[in-house]
Amino acid sequence: MIKVSALNKRFEHVTALDNLSINVKKGSIYGLIGVNGSGKTTALKAITGVLRPDSGEITMDDLDVYENVRVKQRIGFIPDDLFFFGSYNMKECAGFYSRIFPNWSKEKYRTMAEQFGLSERRKLIRFSKGMQKQAAFILTMSSNPDWLILDEPIDGLDPLVRKLVWKHIVADVAERQMTVLVSSHNLREMEGICDSIGIVNSGKMLLERDLDELRSDIHKVQVAFGNAGDKLNNEKLEGFEILHIEEHGSIQQMIVRGAKEQVETIVRSRNPLIFDLIPLSLEEVFIYELGGGNNELGKLLF
Amino acid sequence: MNLASSYFKFSPALFRENLKRFWTIPAFGMLCYFFAGLYPLIVAEASSERYYVLQMTARFLNPGFIIFSVLFPIITSVALNRYLFAPGSVSVMHSLPFTRGSMFFTNMLSGLVMMWAPIVVTYLISLAFMPNAYLAATDPNIGFYSAIIAGAETRISVGQITGALGTSLLLTAMYFLLFNLAATVTGNTPMHIIGGAFLSAVAVGLTGLVGTLSETMLFGFAIDSDMFINLLLRLTPIVYYPARGADAAVSMVIQTIITCVGLYALGSLMYAKRSLERAGDSLVYKFVEVIFVSIVTLSGMILMSAIISAIDQSNFPFNWGLIAGGVLSYAAVKMMAQKSVRIFNKGSAIHFGVTIIAVLLFLFSFRFDFYGYEKRLPNENDIESVYFDPMTTLRNYYSEAEIEFKSPDNIKAIMNIHRVIAEYGPNARVNGEDVIDYSANSISVEYKLNSGTVSRSWVTYADASHYVGDLLTILNSREFKEQNSVIEWAKPGINSISVSSGSYRDLNLNPVEFSEFLLALDADMRDEVFTADSVTLFPGTGIGVNLSRTRPTGYVYSLGRPYYQSYRSEYIKPTYTRTINWLNAKGYYENLRYQANRITVELFDVNSAEALESYEITDFDTLQNILDYGIFGDEIPTTGDSATDLTPYCVVTFYGLDERGETVQLARRSLSPEGAEALLRLKIALAGS
């Protein structure tokens, strides 16, 4: 597992990470999401041992990461900003990786190179950005990492390749119990692949939850009552919490937190004329948790 | 983690990858060394030319090699460290399974191998040319080339080649480590190169700066170009090796190795502590920025102040150029360090104010000698010997500048002179006496102590009578006479001796006369008893002797080494009876003397060139005095523009009789101010009036 505790990092006058804690279970896929500049990339660079945190602890299977070669040999990291040796093609890069990563699999490399259809002889810096990302993915996955850290891995990839990428990741998670920590803005895709998510804002962990738990916990409710006195508000309720409420005539639109069954029971007990209960998408949770529900953007979105 | 594992961990995979990625560096290096050293060696037709080229290579004085010893470290360091300067590359490289220590160490080793390989190959091939070089050395035509390399041995040894190889490797390594250190504290390639150049030049630059300031503001601070070079030679291998080549002293080799180890350790430490998120910034460490900005600001202030003082003759360094230079250089370097023109904020204003105050305090500390430098004397018990050179004070009595005094009496006398000059300062005068303003004395002293040297050099108007007793102790001492002996000086062999005076120039003695003449002159000089008058009155005398001696075999002059004095001048004083008798016996003496029967002396205002007074001397005793002492300066042309351009302080014209018995002008001479002063002191003015 990947465990990050009370991580702090400042860049001169900017607090990039503020007491950040992350817990990624072994053999799971963890999505780290947040707005631009929230500290995701800094967190991932600290986790992979690139940046030295000001304070806090980062361990992988209880082993310190920073300056620990044995742990780093088991980490696969694809940063958002890729880099390859200027004169190298993919085959030469594979040669280098095979010498520094003990779990390197030649067969896997060959298979993946074939599947992705990339030329091994062409210089990597001549590749398009998407192709470079694929090459980085092939090289990283061929090293059979125990912990895979990905920063915006599918940006710039076409849907077919994206599917292939996720397929390989899911397969390694299932077969080798690989642990994956991935940051992305593509929340729909994250929703479909992640076991748990963490929402980071201003360097702080805002919310960290299993995705299933999250889905069953927050709902969007649309309701209308014949009698205006039956309208819902926080004062009258027990067992669930209204996080956000808007009224359009007799129709109330709400974001509520609570168990689905309990919400249904309470609302139906008041005999509503209209009642819809829809689970929130990850995108909606993300926007709402980041304060979107209470600002202009949120009003537009909800 | 222990020291060895943290700082010297080697990654074979990274090493191999570095060699593979940057194979062009050794390849290009081989080409460069080939064209700079080996190619000229192969194509040189004349055997002596080949010998010369090989000599240059074997002594590490091949200019190409010296340049490459700087150039390739820069190229290699830039290539190997470039990944540090972009966020993407630094993230990828540092996420790979290497520690920071192993990356730094492995990169260093890869760089050294890439730079050293072509050097080693070049020197190995040079060895193949050794037999030819040896044969060439026996060629009689080689003389010219031997002269070029200043008396170098005519046979090249394996040791020489090995020494040059070692020098090349060491210097290359030092520059490489220096630029690697620069890479660890800078955030982009231009600043990496600037930082490396800054680190290379900072020792030389600061030494020059402090030297200039000290010389300007401290009375007695001694630094001339030779001393400056000597200081730098001791201070930095960067100056030492290009000056000395492969003939490096063991101490300098050790110093260079220690420097390399220090640079590596510091570089490794800075690399380990480096904030990788600063990739792309100009400077990675805040304290480095403070040091960089402060030094550049100080230099800018001094430079601008020097420019201003050169333009309007204002007082260096305390003129408005100081602040102007401070503002301009601070703004420029701050913009460079912060990669922004938006530097005018409260923080910068405070930093600028602090920097300027620090610089001003630094300058004032010199101006008012906070360190007590001017009055400081070494502890007498620590002094092993003293070099004392009174220069203009005793110009005509003390030819051999390199006289080393060890006797306690002489050391005490020299320290007394030091004390008096320091006490009186540069402009002190005795009893306010109206002496001529040009009687500045230059005096220098160098004490050799158990723990180093202490040097002073003064230009002082303080009257010599303050310390004349001490001067006499020195000049009349046996120690001085023995070391000032012309016989001793002539031991390497005499090339020529010429005797000349204002009336008769360049009487060249026959070689068979050398020893007789030198014996007479040496005996006269040894017997000479200096008195207060003889020391202070006469800056010159009439009959001069110029001696030239041979250079010892194997002596090679190089930058910073004492220059071998091949020439010496002495004056034949009226008391040198043996020498005068010898010249008389040979029939030379009469020709060397003016046969004047009348002398006119004209005094001019030195500023306006107006004639102040003139007088004529005809009485025999005074005439004889002048003719004996012959205080003669340069001859004044009597025709042409240059005749009127001269504004001498004093002009002496000699008249005598020609063969028909008619009075004619024999010579017209301008006198130096010292000469004019001597005339006054001889009371000739009174005689004239």
pLDDT per residue over B100-147, tens digit each? 999 999 999 999 999 999 999 988 887 776 655 544 444 444 443 444
How many Cα atoms occupy the beta-carbon half-sphere of B267 within 13 Å? 28
* pLDDT at B502 > cutoff 90: no
Q: What confidence category does residue B397 fall into, taking pLDDT thresholds of 50, 70 and 90?
A: very low
CA distances for B76 relative to B24, B121, B239, B557, angstroms: 10, 18, 21, 34
- Closest-approach residue (CA) in chain B for A52: B275
The CATH 3.40.50.300 domain(s) of chain A lie at: 2-213
Question: Which long-range contacts does B642-647 make (Cβ < 8 Å, 24+ apart)?
Answer: B646/B670, B647/B604, B647/B606, B647/B609
Closest CB to A11 among B20, B100, B277 = B277
Residue numbers in B near A49 (CB within 8 A): 94-95
pLDDT at B4 over 60: no
Q: In the structure encoding, which two tokens stand for residue B596, read together? A: 């004047």
Q: Which residues of B touch A81 (CB under 8 A)?
A: 86-88, 91
- How much is the pLDDT for B448? 93
The answer to whether B521 touches B576, Cβ cutoff 8 Å, is yes
Nearest CB neighbour to A79, from listed B91, B97, B275: B91
Mutate to test the interface with B, among A81, A91, A98, A140 (most CBs of B within 10 A): A81
Q: Residue A78: closest CA among chain B residues belongs to which residue?
A: B92
**Residues above pLDDT 70, as percent of chain B:** 77
- Position B678 scores a pLDDT of 63
pLDDT category, B503, cuts 50, 70, 90? low
User: What is the CATH class of B375-484?
Assistant: mainly beta
User: Could A100 and B94 be called an inter-chain contact, meaning their C-beta atoms sit closer than 8 Å?
Assistant: no
**For residue A35, what pLDDT is reported?**
85
Answer whether the bond into residue B317 is a cis peptide, omega within 30°: yes
Q: Report pLDDT for B42.
A: 74
* Average per-residue pLDDT for chain B: 80
pLDDT > 90? residue B18: yes
β partners of residue B449 = B383, B452
Determine, for residues B93 and A88 on separate chains, whether the beta-carbon distance falls below 8 Å: no
Residues of A in contact with B14 (CB under 8 A): 100
Contacts of A85 in chain B (CB under 8 A): 17, 21
Fold of the CATH domain A217-301: Alpha-Beta Plaits (3.30.70)
Do residue B97 and residue A99 have CB atoms under 8 angstroms apart? Answer: no
> Best interface-test mutation with A: which of B92, B98, B282, B289 has the largest number of A CBs within 10 A?
B92
Q: For residue B414, which of B454, B450, B451 has the smallest C-alpha distance?
A: B454
Over residues A69-110, the pLDDT tens digits come to: 999 999 999 999 899 998 899 999 999 999 999 999 999 999
Per-residue pLDDT of chain A (302 residues), as tens digits, is 899 999 999 998 899 999 999 999 999 999 999 888 899 999 999 999 999 999 999 999 999 999 999 999 999 999 998 999 988 999 999 999 999 999 999 999 999 999 999 999 999 999 999 999 999 999 999 999 999 999 988 888 999 999 999 999 999 999 999 999 999 888 888 888 999 999 898 899 988 989 888 777 788 888 998 887 777 776 666 777 887 888 888 888 888 888 888 888 888 888 889 999 887 788 877 777 766 544 444 444 44
Q: Which chain B positions have a beta carbon within 8 Å of A66's beta carbon?
A: none
> Exposed, middle or buried, B538 (CB in 10 Å: 0-12/13-18/19+)?
buried
Which segments of chain A belong to CATH 3.30.70? 217-301
Architecture of domain A2-213: 3-Layer(aba) Sandwich (3.40)
Residue B687 has pLDDT above 70, yes or no: no
Question: Which 3 state secondary structure label does DSSP give B404?
Answer: strand
Give rounded-to-5 percent helix, strand, coil for chain A.
Answer: 35, 30, 30
**Which of B197-201, B519-523, B539-543 is predicted with the least confidence, judged by mean pLDDT?**
B539-543
A252 min Cα distance to partner chain B (Å): 49
**Percent of chain A residues topping a pLDDT of 90:** 58
- Cα A22 to Cα A208: distance, rounded to the nearest angstrom: 8
Q: Give me B571's structure tokens.
A: 């004056």
When CB atoms are compared, the residue of B11, B21, B100 closest to A85 is: B21
| pLDDT bracket for residue B561 (50, 70, 90) | low
Cβ-Cβ contacts under 8 Å between A and B: the total is 70
DSSP B508: E
Q: Please name which of A213, A231, A241, A240 lies closest in space to residue A272, comparing C-alpha atoms.
A: A231
Q: Domain spans of chain B?
A: 3-186+246-275, 302-367, 375-484, 485-585, 594-688
Spatial separation of the C-alpha atoms in residues B465 and B536, rounded to whole Å: 8
pLDDT for position B676: 65
What pLDDT is stored for residue A5 in this prediction? 95
Q: What is the ipTM of this complex?
A: 0.86
Q: How far apart are CA A74 and CA B98, in angstroms?
A: 12
CB contact under 8 A, A100 and B90: no
3-state SS of B125-187? HHHHCHHHHHHHHCCHHHHHHHHHCCCCCCCCCHHHHHHHHHHHHHHHHHHHHHHHHHHHHEC
Q: From the list A67, A88, A99, which residue is nearest B100 (CB)? A: A67
Neighbours of B77 (CB within 10 A): 26
Going by the DSSP 8-state scheme, the letter that residue A225 receives in this structure is -
Q: Has residue B658 got a pLDDT over 80?
A: no
E-strand stretches of chain A:
2-11, 14-24, 29-34, 55-60, 63-64, 75-78, 147-151, 179-183, 196-201, 204-210, 218-224, 241-248, 251-257, 274-279
Reduced DSSP (H G I as helix, E B as strand, rest coil) percent helix, strand, coil of chain B, to 5: 60, 10, 30
What would the mean pLDDT of B55-81 be, rounded to a whole number?
87
Mean pLDDT of B417-435: 66
Burial per residue of A250-266, b for 16 or more beta-carbon CB atoms within 10 angstroms, e otherwise: eebebbbebeeeebbeb
Chain B residue with minimum CA distance to A87: B21
Contacts of A75 in chain B (CB under 8 A): 95, 97
Q: What pLDDT, in 10s, does the model give residues B28-53?
A: 999 999 888 888 777 765 555 666 67
Nearest to B360 by CA among B311, B297, B286, B288: B297
Exposure string (b/e) for A162-199, b if CB count within 10 Å is 16 or more?
Answer: bebbbebbeebbeeeebbbbbbbbbbebbbebbbbbbb
Confidence of residue B533 (pLDDT cuts 50, 70, 90): low
Q: What CA–CA distance (Å, rounded) separates B187 from B183? A: 7
Q: Do A100 and B13 touch (CB under 8 A)?
A: yes
The beta-carbon neighbor of B88 closest among A48, A52, A82 is A82
Q: Residue B7: what pLDDT?
A: 63
pLDDT for the residue A265: 86
Minimal Cα–Cα distance from B231 to chain A, Å? 41
Residues of A in contact with B11 (CB under 8 A): 100
Least confident of B48-52, B505-509, B535-539: B535-539
Q: Which residue of B has its CA nearest to A86?
A: B21
Tell me whether residues B100 and A51 touch, CB distance under 8 A: no
pLDDT at B560: 58
d(CA B160, CA A230): 105
Residues of B in contact with A92 (CB under 8 A): 20
Which among B20, B90, B96 is the nearest to A100, CB-wise? B96
| Chain B contact set for A203 (CB, 8 A) | none
Question: Which residues of B make CB contacts under 8 Å with A?
Answer: 11, 13-14, 16-17, 20-21, 83, 86-100, 102, 275-277
Q: What is the pLDDT of residue A131?
A: 95
- In B, minimum Cα distance to A99 occurs at B13
Nearest-Å Rg of the Cα atoms of chain B is 32
Tens digits of residue pLDDT in B582-611: 999 998 887 777 667 888 877 776 666 677
In the prediction, which pLDDT does B414 show?
A: 94
Distance from CA of A90 to the nearest CA of B (A): 14
Cα B149 to Cα B292: distance, rounded to the nearest angstrom:
41
Contacts of A129 (CB under 8 A, 6+ apart): A82, A156
Which residue(s) pair with A247 in the sheet? Answer: A252
Q: Residue A81 and residue B96: Cβ atoms within 8 Å?
A: no
Measured over the CA atoms of residue A155, residue A158, residue A163 and residue A169, the dihedral's sign is: negative
For residues A48 and A80, give the distance between their C-alpha atoms in angstroms, rounded to a whole number: 13
Instruction: Please answer yes or no on whether A52 and B275 come within 8 Å at the CB atom.
Output: yes
Nearest to B499 by CA among B581, B394, B569, B550: B569
Q: Residue B276 is nearest to which of A51, A69, A75, comparing CB atoms?
A: A51
Searching chain B, which residue's CA lies closest to the CA of residue A149? Answer: B95
What span, in angstroms and rounded, lies between the C-alpha atoms of B539 and B59? 45
Q: Are strands B611-617 and B650-657 parallel, antiparallel or unpaired?
A: unpaired
**Closest by Cβ to A83, choosing from B88, B97, B98:** B88
Count of CB atoms within 10 A of residue B142's CB?
Answer: 18
From B406, B558, B540, select the one nearest B477 (Cα to Cα). B406
When scoring A70, A74, A78, A96 by the number of chain B Cβ atoms within 10 A, the one with the most, hence best to mutate, is: A96
Q: How far apart are CA B36 and CA A228, in angstroms?
A: 98
CB-CB under 8 Å, A101 with B88: no
- Cβ atoms within 10 Å of A117's Cβ, excluding its own: 9
pLDDT at B399: 52
Identify the three-state secondary structure at position B454. strand
Q: How far is B182 from chain A (nearest CA, A)?
A: 21
CA distances to B362, B495, B617, B631 from B620, rounded to whole Å, are 63, 39, 8, 17
The verdict on a CB contact (< 8 Å) between B277 and A51 is yes
